[in-house]
């Protein structure tokens, strides 16, 4: 399925609040632009602070009954939502490909597949998480934290929604969702699926709009018990500031500048292409992308050659076409941001191995950036310190293992990392020294059951698996 760029824009003009599709407070609209054509794909309501307040009131009103709903019934409804999303998987994949630019073949697996798995997993985990336990003479019970505001990004739009909404609903929380206004359309599909599944009114609510208006209204609302936010570190700090006034719980999954340490005993023919693929997934629009490749200084030239050859396989291509390659970035703003970083890398003395800021000649429309590899990057350079969120890989040489670990840990971030060694035990030993919430060892793959979240300014709290479910629980001691 592909989106016909000649079709008139779809119009979404209602929010899902209190179990019904309701008109917004105002008449403002926001445009959603297709990444590969630069055409307007749809319009959505531009929500207000009053819209956010109404949604919170609906969630607050539904909380007590939903928290008391038997676990088995919550499990049934979560599985019904998973079934509904699975039935619309092709539509979801095509929608996210249009919005974000991920190749359709990958969107079917990642953008449509992972949300289904998240809802099923949340239901299953209710059989594994102990909601009561003895501690001395006390009975310790775990209860839902309350009303959750979920504020989500555009790069994995429905996946990031599911990482928050599924566990929150599973444990008995009610939710107000504000998806990114850049890629919001799959969230409307979720609301339709939730409605069809028969979730009680007010348990799940959807309001669209901008972060400075709807997002800030949710973060500061005293009737919101918890904010779960995924996005930039700058925006995460603002959410924390607003939430502090009512001392609500805040979970943050923020930026990253993740290192990939290739040790001197590694097979570069395996390690380097793995790192390039991890850096360029979703056109580099991945917070955990391994965008700093650390290689032994004496093997730098060899690593550069292999990386350049690997990057050629990611040449930009129409995400709905048959030719494989990276798709466009999500927007013109993002494209100019990434090109600016490429210019900055050249200005600061990094050596361009392949790619560059010039647009691909065979794709006159769309927000495309050529996959770019820099070498001779030093730790203090901008492209080694700041999150670019595009297909830009920085190769940094190091002198020995201790030097590699020092460079790897030398940023404000600590979301993800990777290590590759010919000796698995050595790889794990180095992985333990890296200050990151998740470390890939010799090409380890993403696992929904593993906790995901960051150290340092990459955030706090964890998503996915049992750890993600526990984020939405409060602990109460009954003294006897």
> Do 163 and 451 form a contact (C-beta atoms < 8 A)?
no
Q: What residues have CB less than 8 Å from 188, skipping those under 6 apart?
A: 12, 16, 44, 206
Residue 378 token pair: 């030093």
Residue 70's alpha-carbon distances to 65, 76, 124, 381, in angstroms, are: 10, 10, 14, 54
N residues, the chain: 480
- Give yes or no: 163 in active site: no
287 among known catalytic residues = yes
Query: Is the Cβ–Cβ distance between 51 and 43 less than 8 Å?
Result: no
Tell the residue number behind the tokens 């996959």, with chain if given. Answer: 371
Please say whether the beta carbons of 438 and 195 come within 8 A.
no
CA distances to 54, 78, 129, 132, 191 from 199, rounded to whole Å, are 18, 9, 22, 26, 10
d(CA 452, CA 415): 8
Residues sharing a CB contact under 8 Å with residue 109, sequence separation 6 or more, in sequence order: none
**Active-site residue (options: 163, 173, 287, 354):** 287
What does the alpha-carbon distance between residue 413 and residue 209 come to, in Å, rounded to a whole number?
Answer: 28
Which residue, chain included where needed, has tokens 């599709």?
21
State the Cα–Cα distance between residues 214 and 207, nearest whole angstrom.
Answer: 8
Closest CA to 480 of 134, 144, 68: 134
Considering the candidates 216, 253, 387, 440, report the single residue annotated as catalytic.
253
Distances (CA, A) of 111 to 104, 105, 195: 9, 10, 21
Strands ordered across the beta sheet of 138-144: 132-135, 138-144, 473-478
Active site residues: 253, 287
């Amino acid at each position: 399925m592909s989106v016909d760029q000649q079709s008139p824009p779809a119009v979404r003009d209602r929010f899902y609040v209190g179990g019904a599709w309701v008109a917004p407070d105002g008449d403002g609209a926001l445009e959603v632009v297709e990444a590969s054509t630069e055409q307007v794909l749809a319009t959505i309501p531009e929500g207000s602070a009053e819209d956010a307040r109404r949604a919170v009131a609906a969630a607050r009103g539904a909380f007590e009954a939903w928290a008391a709903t038997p676990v088995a019934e919550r499990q049934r409804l979560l599985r019904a939502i998973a079934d509904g999303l699975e039935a619309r998987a092709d539509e979801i994949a095509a929608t996210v490909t249009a919005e974000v630019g991920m190749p359709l073949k990958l969107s079917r697996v990642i953008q449509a597949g992972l949300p289904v798995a998240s809802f099923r997993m949340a239901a299953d985990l209710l059989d594994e998480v102990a909601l009561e336990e003895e501690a001395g003479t006390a009975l310790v019970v775990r209860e839902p934290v309350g009303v959750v505001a979920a504020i989500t990004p555009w790069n994995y739009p429905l996946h990031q929604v599911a990482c928050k909404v599924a566990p929150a609903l599973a444990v008995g929380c009610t939710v107000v969702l504000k998806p990114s206004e850049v890629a919001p359309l799959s969230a409307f599909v979720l609301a339709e699926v939730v409605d069809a599944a028969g979730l009680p009114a007010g348990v799940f609510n959807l309001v669209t709009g901008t972060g400075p208006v709807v997002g800030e209204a949710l973060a500061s609302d005293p009737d919101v018990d918890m904010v779960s936010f995924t996005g930039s570190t700058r925006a995460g700090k603002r959410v924390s500031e607003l939430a502090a006034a009512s001392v609500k719980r805040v979970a943050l999954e923020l930026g990253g500048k993740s290192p990939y340490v290739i040790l001197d005993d590694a097979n570069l023919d395996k390690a380097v292409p793995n790192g390039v693929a991890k850096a360029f997934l979703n056109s580099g629009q991945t917070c955990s992308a391994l965008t700093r490749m650390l290689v032994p200084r004496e093997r730098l030239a060899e690593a550069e050659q292999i990386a350049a050859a690997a990057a050629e396989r990611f040449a930009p291509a129409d995400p709905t076409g048959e030719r494989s390659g990276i798709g466009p970035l999500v927007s013109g703003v993002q494209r100019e941001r990434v090109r600016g970083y490429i210019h900055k890398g050249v200005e600061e003395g990094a050596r361009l191995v392949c790619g560059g800021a010039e647009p691909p000649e065979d794709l006159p429309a769309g927000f495309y950036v050529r996959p770019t590899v820099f070498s001779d990057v030093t730790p203090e350079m901008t492209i080694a310190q700041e999150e670019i969120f595009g297909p830009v890989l920085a190769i940094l040489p190091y002198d020995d293992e201790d030097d590699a670990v020092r460079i790897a840990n030398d940023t404000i971030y600590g979301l993800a990392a990777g290590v590759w060694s010919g000796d698995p035990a050595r790889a794990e030993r180095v992985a333990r020294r890296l200050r990151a919430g998740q470390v890939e060892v010799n090409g380890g793959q993403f696992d929904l059951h593993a906790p995901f979240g960051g150290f340092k300014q990459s955030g706090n709290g964890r998503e996915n698996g049992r750890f993600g479910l526990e984020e939405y629980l409060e602990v109460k001691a009954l003294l006897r």
